[in-house]
């Protein structure tokens, strides 16, 4: 009779451990899946996108091959002041134009 009660006790302990494990895993999954409302990180615009957004506001699109690398450097340096372009954006635009040239 003792063997049956020992087996029954072990079975109950095993069931309790399984139930506890399921509860813990459920809680961990809920915490990890919680949406904290943070917006996904935005991808930085490319030089081509910056060129279209900033230069295309006032100018017709020019092909990169219409100017030399030095001319594009001068134009972007000049227009950076007028268009209030951040330095990083101006560098990306110049890199795009010179790479396409």
Same domain, 26 and 65: no
The structure tokens listed for 50 are 């910056």
Same domain, 57 and 30: no
Same domain, 52 and 18: no
In which domain, by residue range, is 1 found? Answer: 1-35
Same domain, 63 and 18: no
pLDDT tens, N- to C-terminus, the chain (101 residues): 555 676 667 767 778 777 777 787 777 777 777 666 666 778 999 999 999 999 988 999 888 999 999 999 999 999 999 999 999 999 999 999 999 88
**Residue keyed to tokens 């795009």:** 96
Domain assignment of residue 63, yes or no: yes
Q: Report the predicted TM-score, pTM, of the whole model to 2 decimal places.
A: 0.59
Same domain, 29 and 51: no
């Amino acid at each position: 009779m003792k063997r049956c009660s020992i087996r029954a006790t072990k079975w109950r302990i095993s069931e309790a451990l399984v139930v506890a494990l399921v509860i813990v895993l459920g809680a961990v999954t809920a915490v990890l899946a919680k949406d904290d409302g943070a917006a996904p990180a935005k991808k930085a615009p490319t030089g081509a996108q910056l060129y279209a957004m900033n230069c295309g506001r006032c100018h017709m699109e020019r092909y990169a091959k219409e100017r030399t690398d030095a001319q594009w450097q001068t134009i972007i340096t000049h227009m950076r002041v007028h268009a209030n372009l951040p330095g990083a954006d101006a560098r990306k635009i110049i890199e795009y134009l010179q790479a396409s040239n």
